[in-house]
Amino acid sequence: DTAVSQTPKYLVTQMGNDKSIKCEQNLGHDTMYWYKQDSKKFLKIMFSYNNKELIINETVPNRFSPKSPDKAHLNLHINSLELGDSAVYFCASTTQGAVGQYFGPGTRLTVT
């Protein structure tokens, strides 16, 4: 069974569109994250949720809105997509006592 899953794996869309990326974990973890990996492969945290509450919100445009309907899900909605949003987005989860964070497979977003 996949521990952390993301959908879709690939997303190609045009500038100005609104899109969502979904993340689900079946590990029973209570903390989930969204990371962005840019074209230079540099990873940076975007958001963190603990028990459905936002605890980290880095300097990210407000076009990005995370939504956590329950502890197992953290979705990322992006409005008015821009070319610079093209990147790979990783979801991850963890809990106290876990050995590190468990990463999803990533969603490659291409904005044309």
Partner 1 sequence: KNEVEQSPQNLTAQEGEFITINCSYSVGISALHWLQQHPGGGIVSLFMLSSGKKKHGRLIATINIQEKHSSLHITASHPRDSAVYICAVWGGADGLTFGKGTHLIIQP
Position among 12, 15, 54, 55 found at the interface with partner 1 (CB under 8 A): 55
User: Taking CB under 8 A as the rule, does residue 101 contact partner 1?
Assistant: yes
User: Taking CB under 8 A as the rule, does residue 88 contact partner 1?
Assistant: yes
d(CA 2, CA 18): 27
Q: Which residue stretch of 20-28, 43-51, 61-69, 72-80 sits at the interface with partner 1 (rule: CB under 8 A)?
A: 43-51
Match 């990147």 to its residue by tokens. Answer: 87
Where residue 52 falls (left for φ over 0; alpha for ψ -120 to 50; beta otherwise) is left
Which residue from 54, 34, 31, 55 is spatially nearest to 45, judged by alpha carbons?
Answer: 34
Binding residues for partner 1, rule CB under 8 A, total 23
Residues 6 or more apart whose CB falls under 8 angstroms from that of 18 comprise 77, 78, 79, 80, 81
Which is nearer to partner 1, 9 or 67 (by Cβ)?
9
Which is nearer to partner 1, 3 or 15 (by Cβ)?
3
Q: Give the HSE-up count for residue 65: Cα atoms under 13 Å, Cβ half-sphere.
A: 9
Position among 21, 25, 33, 75 found at the interface with partner 1 (CB under 8 A): 33
Binding site for partner 1 (CB under 8 A): 33, 35, 40-45, 48, 55-56, 58, 88, 90, 92, 99-103, 105-106, 108
